[in-house]
């Protein structure tokens, strides 16, 4: 007797033949063409796609949903966004940070996103956002895995208090060591920050996730140092390079040396397509650079590439609804990832690759893993990318925590009335 059986599920990454998924005690017990057993609850997936949940591998929960406070970003640029964040920070308090974070988590869950890695700015001496978001981590844990990165927005070395505050944030329970080497005063300081932060992570057994080379400058090469220090400290597979936009502009010969170094260190690559495409290349006239890292080359080299939303309605980005399929679609288009296997990899970039980058071993449509999955009104991953379809149901540990009616439009053309469900 199972707790739940999901019938007629086309399982992402497994088979395009409909299968049954059996669940007990919050875990997947069987994925078979036909499970001949009873369950306390059955759910008919009607041949639609069932996927491992979406994962947002890079987000800023402390800034999200502040659109219009104290004013909007009129120019839509990175510099006005930074100025706006400086104006906004003194207005934030713990209760309202928590309220926005909870609102975002509910939006995420409705979209089938059950894991978010959020950077949290530790440059506030009172660490109000750290305190607020650590409480949210615990409160939302039954439904969503929220992972926090101690992010020194004003520079680990450049801000005289950042070092002490970052360590304090880790002591309070923040999970991952952050950094921003390209924002330090010099290349040398950037390198020094990488050494110190990797040592800190190694000493504490933590993962690392740095905003790294978020710049159009082809000579911003901190990812080289990050890869080297990852190997030096034995942190292979546990270090994420976020953004890596300068790789877009680097010399091809240099990249031919760099990517094998990144591979040796098993660097987790996180691109943020919506933000990279809008914030980078702003100094260009034409040709205008796209500003996203080399997703195609990194995937081809066998690196794990995941995507983040980065921002939703905050000082840097006035748009977004935390739909990770919108992110994947943008990454697919910008990176020209239009091959069949490449498109599926773009779906993976917002699902299982994200889980790998975050170290969430319990995610995945596999026997023994947590019964966390989303039912989409599409028949395969490529159709899901095309339609960004309705999330018919979202399951966490075998319990349905979100649902939405299937989307069907009625079209009336004179006497002819037809129903359109967007599936071809
Ligand atoms: Fe970011």
Q: Nearest-CA neighbor of 332 among 269, 250, 277, 283?
A: 277
Ramachandran angles phi, psi of 386, nearest 5°: -70, -40
Q: In the prediction, which pLDDT does 79 show?
A: 82
d(CA 151, CA 74): 26
Taking the centre of ligand 1 as the mean of its atom positions, its distance from the CA of residue 231, in whole angstroms, is 24
Taking the centre of ligand 1 as the mean of its atom positions, its distance from the CA of residue 343, in whole angstroms, is 24
Q: In the prediction, which pLDDT does 15 show?
A: 86
Q: Which residue has the tokens 């980005």?
A: 317
Whether the per-residue pLDDT at 192 is higher than 90: the answer is yes
Judge if 259 and 130 occupy the same domain: yes
Residue 193 to residues 63, 71, 187, 196, 224, Cα–Cα distance (Å): 24, 33, 10, 5, 13
Helices (runs of H) and strands (runs of E) counted in the chain: 13, 18
Judge if 121 and 169 occupy the same domain: yes
Domain assignment present for residue 421? The answer is no
Judge if 243 and 140 occupy the same domain: yes
d(CA 396, CA 404): 15
Copy the structure tokens of residue 245: 């936009």
pLDDT tier for residue 82 given thresholds of 50, 70 and 90: confident
Each residue's pLDDT tens digit, 198-224: 999 999 999 999 999 999 999 999 999
Taking the centre of ligand 1 as the mean of its atom positions, its distance from the CA of residue 58, in whole angstroms, is 6
Domain assignment present for residue 423? The answer is no
- Angle, vertex CA 320, rays to CA 315 and CA 322, nearest 5: 115
Taking the centre of ligand 1 as the mean of its atom positions, its distance from the CA of residue 310, in whole angstroms, is 5
Domain assignment present for residue 414? The answer is no
Number of domains in the chain: 2
Judge if 204 and 294 occupy the same domain: yes
Is 96 among the catalytic positions? no
Judge if 307 and 352 occupy the same domain: yes
Judge if 13 and 149 occupy the same domain: no
> Looking at 184, 214, 326, 381, which residue is catalytic?
214
Each residue's pLDDT tens digit, 377-391: 999 999 999 999 999
- Domain with residue 373: its CATH number is 2.30.40.10
Sheet strands side by side (includes 113-121): 54-59, 113-121, 145-151, 176-179, 207-212, 239-243, 268-271, 305-307
422 vs 137, residue with greater confidence: 137
pLDDT tier for residue 264 given thresholds of 50, 70 and 90: very high
In DSSP notation, 267-294 reads: PEEEE-HHHHHHHTTTT--SS-------
Taking the centre of ligand 1 as the mean of its atom positions, its distance from the CA of residue 59, in whole angstroms, is 6
Each residue's pLDDT tens digit, 135-156: 999 999 999 999 999 999 999 9
Judge if 34 and 150 occupy the same domain: no
Q: In the prediction, which pLDDT does 16 show?
A: 85
Strands 54-59 and 49-51: unpaired
Taking the centre of ligand 1 as the mean of its atom positions, its distance from the CA of residue 117, in whole angstroms, is 10
Each residue's pLDDT tens digit, 5-55: 999 999 999 988 999 999 999 999 999 999 999 999 999 999 999 999 999
d(CA 24, CA 4): 7
Q: In the prediction, which pLDDT does 40 show?
A: 97
Whether the per-residue pLDDT at 241 is higher than 90: the answer is yes
Taking the centre of ligand 1 as the mean of its atom positions, its distance from the CA of residue 272, in whole angstroms, is 8
Lowest mean pLDDT of 172-176, 267-271, 401-405, 419-423, name the range. Answer: 419-423
Judge if 31 and 156 occupy the same domain: no
Each residue's pLDDT tens digit, 297-322: 999 999 999 999 999 999 999 999 99
The shares of helix, strand and coil residues in the chain, as percent rounded to the nearest 5, are 35, 25, 40
Taking the centre of ligand 1 as the mean of its atom positions, its distance from the CA of residue 43, in whole angstroms, is 38
Taking the centre of ligand 1 as the mean of its atom positions, its distance from the CA of residue 309, in whole angstroms, is 9
Domain assignment present for residue 416? The answer is no
Contact between 323 and 111 under an 8 Å Cβ cutoff? The reply is yes
Q: In the prediction, which pLDDT does 266 show?
A: 98
Mean pLDDT of the residues in the chain: 97
Q: In the prediction, which pLDDT does 206 show?
A: 98
Domain assignment present for residue 318? The answer is yes
Q: Which residue segment(s) compose the domain that 388 sits in?
A: 2-52+365-409
Taking the centre of ligand 1 as the mean of its atom positions, its distance from the CA of residue 233, in whole angstroms, is 25
Q: In the prediction, which pLDDT does 52 show?
A: 98
Domain assignment present for residue 420? The answer is no
Judge if 67 and 14 occupy the same domain: no
Whether the per-residue pLDDT at 250 is higher than 90: the answer is yes
- Angle, vertex CA 298, rays to CA 296 and CA 301, nearest 5: 110
Q: Which of 330, 358, 386 is the last residue of a domain?
A: 358
- Domain with residue 331: its CATH number is 3.20.20.140
Judge if 130 and 37 occupy the same domain: no
Taking the centre of ligand 1 as the mean of its atom positions, its distance from the CA of residue 185, in whole angstroms, is 19
Domain assignment present for residue 42? The answer is yes
Judge if 170 and 114 occupy the same domain: yes
Q: In the prediction, which pLDDT does 157 show?
A: 98
Q: In the prediction, which pLDDT does 130 show?
A: 98
Judge if 320 and 221 occupy the same domain: yes
Average pLDDT, stretch 393-405?
Answer: 98
Domain assignment present for residue 424? The answer is no
């Amino acid at each position: 007797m199972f707790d739940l059986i999901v019938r007629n599920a086309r399982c992402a990454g497994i088979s395009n033949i409909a299968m049954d998924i059996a669940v007990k005690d919050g875990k997947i017990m069987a994925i078979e063409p036909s499970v001949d057993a009873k369950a306390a609850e059955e759910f008919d997936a009607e041949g639609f796609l069932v996927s491992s949940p979406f994962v947002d591998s890079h987000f800023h929960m402390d800034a999200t949903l502040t659109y219009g406070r104290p004013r909007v970003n009129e120019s839509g640029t990175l510099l006005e966004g930074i100025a706006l964040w400086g104006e906004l920070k003194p207005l934030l308090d713990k209760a309202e940070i928590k309220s926005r974070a909870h609102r975002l988590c509910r939006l995420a869950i409705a979209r089938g996103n059950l894991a978010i890695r959020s950077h949290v700015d530790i440059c506030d001496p009172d660490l109000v956002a750290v305190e607020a978001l650590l409480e949210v981590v615990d409160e939302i844990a039954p439904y969503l895995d929220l992972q926090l990165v101690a992010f020194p927005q004003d520079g680990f070395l450049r801000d005289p208090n950042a070092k002490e505050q970052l360590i304090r944030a880790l002591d309070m329970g923040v999970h991952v060591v952050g950094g921003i080497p390209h924002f330090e005063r010099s290349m040398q300081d950037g390198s020094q920050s990488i050494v110190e932060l990797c040592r800190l992570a190694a000493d504490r057994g933590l993962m690392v996730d740095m905003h790294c080379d978020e710049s159009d400058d082809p000579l911003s090469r901190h990812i080289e140092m990050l890869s080297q220090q990852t190997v030096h400290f034995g942190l292979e597979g546990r270090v994420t390079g976020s953004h890596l936009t300068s790789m877009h502009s680097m010399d091809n010969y240099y990249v031919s040396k760099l990517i094998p170094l990144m591979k040796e260190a098993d660097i987790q690559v996180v691109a943020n397509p919506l933000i990279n495409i809008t914030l980078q290349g702003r100094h260009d006239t034409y040709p205008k650079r796209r500003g996203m890292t080399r997703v195609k080359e990194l995937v081809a080299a066998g690196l794990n590439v995941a995507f983040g939303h980065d921002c939703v309605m905050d000082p840097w980005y006035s748009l977004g609804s935390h739909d990770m399929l919108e992110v994947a679609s943008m990454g697919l288009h910008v990176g020209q990832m239009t091959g069949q296997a490449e498109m599926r990899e773009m779906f993976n970039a917002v699902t299982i690759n994200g889980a790998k980058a975050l170290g969430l071993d319990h995610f995945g449509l596999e026997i023994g893993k947590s019964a966390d999955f989303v039912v989409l009104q599409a028949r395969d991953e490529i159709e899901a990318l095309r339609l960004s379809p309705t999330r018919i149901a979202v399951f966490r540990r075998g319990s349905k925590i979100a649902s939405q009616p299937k989307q069907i439009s009625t079209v009336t053309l004179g006497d002819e009335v037809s129903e359109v469900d967007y599936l071809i």
